[in-house]
Amino acid sequence: MAREISPLQKVRAAYEPKLPKIFKEGNFKPQIGAPAFPKTDKAQIKKLFPKTYGQGEVKFVKGKGEGLTTKPINVAVILSGGQAPGGHNVIVGVFDAIKAANSKSKVYGFKKGPGGAIKNNYMELTKKYVDAYRNTGGFDMIMSGRDKIETPEQLAACKANFEALKLSAVIIIGGDDSNTNAAVLAEYLAAAGSPVKVLGVPKTIDGDMKNEQIETSFGFDTATKTYSELIGNIERDASSAVKYWHFIKLMGRAASHVALECALQTQPNICLISEEVKEKGTTLSEIVDYIADVVCKRAAEGKNYGVVLIPEGLPEFISDIKTTIDEISDILGKDAKELENKSKSERLIYIEKKLKGHSAEVFHSLPENDRLILTTRDNHGNVPLSQVETEKLLMTLVGNKIKDLKAKGKAEGVKFSALGHFFGYEGRCAAPSNFDADYCYSLGYTAAQMARAGLTGYTVNVQNTIMPADKWVAGATPVTMMLNMEQRKGKPTPVIKKALVETKGKPFKFFASQRDKWAIEDCFTYPGSIQYFGPSEVCDLPTKTLILEKKDSGKKQSKK
């Protein structure tokens, strides 16, 4: 029996994503620029990527299809890492473009992430199958996974599987790590004389895969709009009930782009920005003092309610917690043998005994569940921060601080009743906004043209995105150009630099210029739900971050 779909999904399936004019008109060719190099660590990167180093940036310009094959080709797609709205449209864009160039071409999907390429777990994507996922959220079309293709055995298995399917190209849809992995795979295949090319597409709701060439990662737009709708609803509840402080943690493993964008959209009383906390060397108790001070100032105005936004990555940016995490990582590394067969609680006791001085004090001040999480590491060596209940921790510590102040007669009349929320998984599979639906389809379409051009080791991009879609410019950036060397698991490793919030950047500066007012006055804004139909100024609006970052450069480009 056919699966029932919602009325919105039915209508939305017919939505035709917008494309850059050059693709809509159909007369184009790739133009390869002068050799492009990374900003730093040139010699090391050249040594590691001799085949793909120094390639030129690509732009699609007017042409008659020069350099683009019209022969049937086979390409495969892989979804890698956390879900982000629009992933299905990347695949749909690849599918439509590949089939439009030659209906005999085939598109395969490796299932459950990069692990599918290693294990040869794939399916051929047919029109009927793909059509059911047009403009939908989620990655369930072929599913995702967090495996990395890194060992010689895994690289060799991928090569054999790709060649058996006679692939011209593999398109990896992922974040900074996955695009770095795409570059490693591209180099490996090129060095082995394989005909298979590898391309990347910038994905992540965290918004931290961006640079001069990549204006934004897909999914950030929809996820932040989804969270902002919920935050706006909570703000209205707070100012209606006038009795709760809401502490809302927002996803984003490291960077605070999600929290900052949501703050720009909803104007809460407080939004912590991890990057600023790190820059200033702020401690946990200083953060608690700051929040408690705003709570008291608002209480003095008769407002015993408010909204606080907290980025997920915060614990790793608070100076004393970061030191504690680093000391724990050291213990986990050095004493791996002793810890091997211990239960979770035995590990905790062992580590607690080893910590000294202020780190021990900070660690003891945390609830047991958070202490357990801080002693855990995932496959990539990351602390699983989405599981740390920072919002609850801050609620408790601010509550204690206010009790102290009251005992000293300094917080008379302050009522502090707090509720905690975590918005993360709620937004990652939302139906893509028009922006993400169009942007992702355009990225997929561009990736297909790069596959037809037989280019390898590139991440595709679509630029000029604060302008209407027909002014968008499609192209690709050599991954080696975006690499720098960083210490990973104790070794210098080539990686795409994660874009953190810049405290000198326009989005943060605008926020910082407003936050004192937002803290005390009620300036809440209620963005409402994502609109798919209606006036363009409501339905096609990019994020405030993108508008603030690109406003001037957008004008310059459009005048040309």
CB 12 within 8 A of CB 135: yes
User: Could you tell me the sign of the dihedral formed by the alpha carbons of 240, 242, 244, 250, in that order?
Assistant: positive
Strand order in the sheet with 197-202: 28-35, 56-62, 473-478, 458-463, 197-202, 167-174, 74-79, 106-110, 122-124
Of the pair 285, 386, the CB lying nearest ligand FBP is at: 386
Q: Given 177, 206, 221, 370, which residue is catalytic?
A: 206
Of the pair 20, 424, the CB lying nearest ligand FBP is at: 424
Q: Which stretch binds ligand FBP (CB under 6 A): 86-94, 200-208, 281-289, 462-470?
A: 200-208
Contacts of ligand FBP in 253-272 (CB under 6 A): 253
Between the two ends of the chain, the Cα-to-Cα distance in Å is: 54
Shortest Cβ distance from residue 30 to ligand FBP (Å)? 28
Binding-site member from 30, 81, 114, 200 for ligand FBP (CB under 6 A): 81
Of the pair 48, 78, the CB lying nearest ligand FBP is at: 78
State how far the Cα of 17 lies from the Cα of 5, in Å rounded to an integer: 20
State how far the Cα of 222 lies from the Cα of 434, in Å rounded to an integer: 9
In angstroms, what CA-CA distances link 283 with 321, 322, 352? 8, 10, 20
Residues 6 or more apart in contact with residue 162 via CB below 8 angstroms:
76, 117, 170, 189, 194, 196
Q: What is the DSSP string of 224-290?
A: HHHHHHHHHHHHHHHHHH---EEEEEE--SS--HHHHHHHHHH--SEE--HHHHHHHT--HHHHHHH
Of the pair 205, 482, the CB lying nearest ligand FBP is at: 205
**Residue 440 touching ligand FBP (CB under 6 A):** no
State how far the Cα of 114 lies from the Cα of 11, in Å rounded to an integer: 33
Structure token digits, residue 34: 């002068």
The structure tokens 């707090």 sit at 418
Binding-site member from 167, 205, 277, 469 for ligand FBP (CB under 6 A): 205
Q: Which stretch binds ligand FBP (CB under 6 A): 6-14, 58-66, 161-169, 204-212?
A: 204-212
Q: Which stretch binds ligand FBP (CB under 6 A): 81-89, 193-201, 262-270, 523-531?
A: 81-89
Binding mask 416-435 for ligand FBP (x = CB under 6 A): ------------x-------
Binding-site member from 74, 154, 194, 204 for ligand FBP (CB under 6 A): 204
Binding-site member from 87, 116, 252, 432 for ligand FBP (CB under 6 A): 252
Shortest Cβ distance from residue 90 to ligand FBP (Å)? 13
Is residue 147 flagged as an active site residue?
no
Shortest Cβ distance from residue 93 to ligand FBP (Å)? 19
Structure token digits, residue 385: 């921060």
Measured CA angle at 476 (ends 471, 480), to 5 deg: 150
**Residue 175 touching ligand FBP (CB under 6 A):** yes
Shortest Cβ distance from residue 223 to ligand FBP (Å)? 8
Q: Which stretch binds ligand FBP (CB under 6 A): 10-18, 201-209, 290-298, 502-510?
A: 201-209
**Residue 251 touching ligand FBP (CB under 6 A):** yes
Of the pair 202, 306, the CB lying nearest ligand FBP is at: 202
**Residue 386 touching ligand FBP (CB under 6 A):** yes
**Residue 216 touching ligand FBP (CB under 6 A):** no
**Residue 147 touching ligand FBP (CB under 6 A):** no
Binding mask 307-326 for ligand FBP (x = CB under 6 A): -----x--------------
CB 507 within 8 A of CB 284: no
Shortest Cβ distance from residue 180 to ligand FBP (Å)? 12
User: Could you tell me the sign of the dihedral formed by the alpha carbons of 158, 161, 164, 169, in that order?
Assistant: negative
- Bridge-based pairing state of the strands 306-311 and 245-250: parallel
Q: What are the residues binding ligand FBP (CB under 6 A)?
A: 81-82, 84, 175, 204-206, 251-253, 312, 386, 428
Residues classed as catalytic = 206
